[in-house]
């Protein structure tokens, strides 16, 4: 049996089971009951504490010894120092993965991408009157949040995995009411993102860490625009294997986080090193013990343009609202071990609820083949990655493939 893009049988279940919980993701409204002066003082105090926290976190991040260029040793294995540092910390910063040519390609493509976003929540057209990104797509794509808000913390969204609301700084009076901060299923909207997904070093790392038969998870663009980008409250990503008898530190896979403009403590993701090794964690209790959402041992991902961080999905992580003048655009690309996914029930956080059987995995994994081919067309002299599950099979990247990938993220392998 083959599973087809995009009409997965699980869509009905997704609409029934998951949509209602998404609708309940209403941000809690900030109370304006306190006197304005008191609010201002609070903001100033917290910004001074925040600056100290960020400086301390950045210093600790550089002390971890988990950054450097991609290095392979014989037979496609990742350099043992990288493997050790990744498993010790739960993240690693690969420096300089995207070179200047590729970064220019991605930036140009993303300019076009942004011009195709809907004009406001619910709009079906972009500012030029064209059908906007996400129009006609059944899967979740464009997510909106209020400027500098925390859309997820303290809500039931995504199985309640963001238990604590982050501080919501006051946005400027002329800030937009709402901004796009995530676009899911991004490979169907951006050829440059598809080409980046086929990067041989990234796929080589996925094979080295998750096995040659690794599978996709999902892909997304995180947009943290200067002075308005919302936060993503502390959470860990996995929902399926916490109680599995053979659970380990890699059971819920990892996300690559490719940085187009780099990222800083102010606009980037923060990680609590080592938490990917812990089965049980109470984020609410950690925040209560810290007295604020500034978790004391957390460190920021600090990246230059072209760096790609890898973050274990089991590690506690999150990002603060972006009050800085610097934009962040992250290409998220997640991968799993096949054994962690096979015959599990999709969580519905990404993609439809349904059994992640061989057929669904095979269909979803075709994105890797198309990405390798799309990349080869653009960078013909680069050694292309050979993806073991598709060995001997050629997937043409052409107009037929392009129409086939509409709604591909209904099949995301979400565990
Ligand atoms: O990019 C961010 O701000 C958050 C990313 C994240 O939480 C994730 O990839 O799970």
Residue 232 CB less than 6 A away from ligand 1: yes
Contact 191, 371 (CB under 8 A): no
Residue 314 CB less than 6 A away from ligand 1: no
pTM of the shown model: 0.89
The structure tokens 């990234």 sit at 202
Mutation to probe ligand 1, out of 224, 317, 412 (largest number of atoms < 8 A from CB): 317
Per-residue pLDDT at 122 exceeds 90:
yes
Q: Which residues contact 275 (CB under 8 A, 6 or more apart)?
A: 90, 236, 281, 314, 315, 316
Mutation to probe ligand 1, out of 145, 319, 333, 349 (largest number of atoms < 8 A from CB): 319
Residue 317 CB less than 6 A away from ligand 1: yes
Q: How far apart, in Å, are the Cα atoms of 307 and each of 152, 362, 409?
A: 27, 30, 25
Query: How many C-beta atoms lie closer than 10 Å to residue 391's C-beta?
Result: 8
Residue 344 CB less than 6 A away from ligand 1: no
> What's the whole-number mean pLDDT along residues 124-148?
97
Residue 237 CB less than 6 A away from ligand 1: yes
At 51 the pLDDT is 94
Contact 314, 242 (CB under 8 A): no
Q: How far apart, in Å, are the Cα atoms of 173 and each of 147, 227, 293, 322?
A: 10, 11, 25, 16
Q: Which atom of ligand 1 is nearest to the CA of 222?
A: 1
Report the distance separating Cα 292 and Cα 300, nearest Å.
Answer: 17
- What is the tens place of the pLDDT at every residue in 342-378? 999 988 888 888 999 999 999 999 999 999 999 999 9
- What is the tens place of the pLDDT at every residue in 12-66? 332 223 322 332 222 222 222 233 333 334 444 468 899 999 999 999 999 999 9
Give me the torsion for CA of 25, 26, 27, 32, rounded to 10°: -160
Please give the distance, rounded to the nearest whole angstrom, from the Cα atom of residue 73 to the centre of ligand 1.
Answer: 30
Atom 3 of ligand 1: nearest residue by CA position = 319
Residue 158 CB less than 6 A away from ligand 1: no
Contact 301, 268 (CB under 8 A): yes
Residue 171 CB less than 6 A away from ligand 1: no
Contact 305, 103 (CB under 8 A): yes
Please give the distance, rounded to the nearest whole angstrom, from the Cα atom of residue 34 to the centre of ligand 1.
Answer: 32
Atom 10 of ligand 1: nearest residue by CA position = 237
Estimate the crossing angle of helix 200-210 against helix 80-89, to 10 degrees.
70
- What is the tens place of the pLDDT at every residue in 405-414? 999 999 999 9
Query: What ranges do the domains of the chain cover?
Result: 11-25+35-411
Please give the distance, rounded to the nearest whole angstrom, from the Cα atom of residue 318 to the centre of ligand 1.
Answer: 6
- What is the tens place of the pLDDT at every residue in 125-136? 999 999 999 999
Residue 222 CB less than 6 A away from ligand 1: yes
Residue 408 CB less than 6 A away from ligand 1: no
Tell which CATH architecture fits domain 11-25+35-411: Sandwich (2.60)
At 349 the pLDDT is 82
Per-residue pLDDT at 286 exceeds 90:
yes
Atom 7 of ligand 1: nearest residue by CA position = 318
């Amino acid at each position: 049996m083959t599973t087809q893009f995009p009409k997965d049988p699980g869509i009905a279940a997704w609409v029934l089971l998951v949509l209602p919980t998404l609708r309940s993701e209403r941000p809690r409204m900030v109370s304006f009951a306190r006197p304005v002066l008191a609010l201002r003082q609070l903001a100033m105090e917290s910004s001074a504490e925040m600056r100290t926290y960020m400086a301390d976190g950045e210093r600790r991040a550089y002390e971890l010894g988990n950054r450097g260029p991609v290095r392979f040793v014989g037979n496609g294995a990742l350099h043992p120092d990288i493997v050790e540092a990744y498993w010790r910390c739960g993240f690693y910063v690969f420096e300089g993965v995207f070179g200047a040519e590729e970064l220019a390609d991605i930036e140009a493509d993303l300019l076009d991408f942004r011009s195709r976003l809907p004009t406001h929540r619910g709009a079906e057209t972009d500012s030029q009157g064209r059908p906007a990104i996400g129009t006609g797509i059944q899967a979740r794509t464009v997510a909106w949040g209020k400027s500098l808000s925390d859309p997820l913390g303290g809500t039931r969204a995504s199985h309640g995995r963001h238990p604590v609301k982050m501080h919501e700084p006051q946005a400027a009076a002329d800030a937009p009411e709402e901004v796009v901060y995530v676009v899911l299923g991004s490979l169907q909207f951006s050829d440059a993102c598809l080409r980046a997904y086929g990067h041989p070093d990234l796929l080589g790392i996925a094979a080295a860490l998750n096995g040659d038969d690794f599978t996709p998870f999902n892909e997304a663009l995180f947009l943290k625009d200067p002075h308005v980008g919302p936060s993503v409250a502390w959470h860990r990503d996995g929902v399926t294997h916490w109680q599995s008898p053979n659970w380990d530190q890699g059971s819920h896979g990892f996300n690559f986080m490719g940085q187009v403009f780099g990222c800083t403590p102010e606009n980037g993701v923060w990680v609590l090193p080592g938490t990917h090794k812990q089965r049980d964690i109470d984020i609410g209790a950690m925040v209560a013990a810290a007295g604020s959402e500034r978790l004391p041992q957390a460190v920021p991902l600090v990246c230059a343009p072209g760096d790609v961080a890898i973050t274990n999905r089991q590690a506690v992580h999150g990002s603060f609202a972006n009050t800085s003048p610097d934009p962040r655009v992250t290409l998220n690309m997640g991968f799993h071990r096949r054994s962690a996914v096979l015959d599990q029930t999709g969580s519905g956080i990404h993609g439809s609820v349904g059994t992640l059987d061989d057929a669904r995995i095979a269909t979803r994994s075709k994105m890797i083949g198309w990405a390798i081919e799309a990349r080869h067309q653009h960078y013909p002299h680069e050694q292309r990655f050979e993806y073991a599950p598709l060995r001997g099979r050629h997937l043409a990247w052409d107009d037929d493939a392009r129409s086939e990938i509409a709604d591909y993220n209904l099949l995301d392998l979400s565990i």
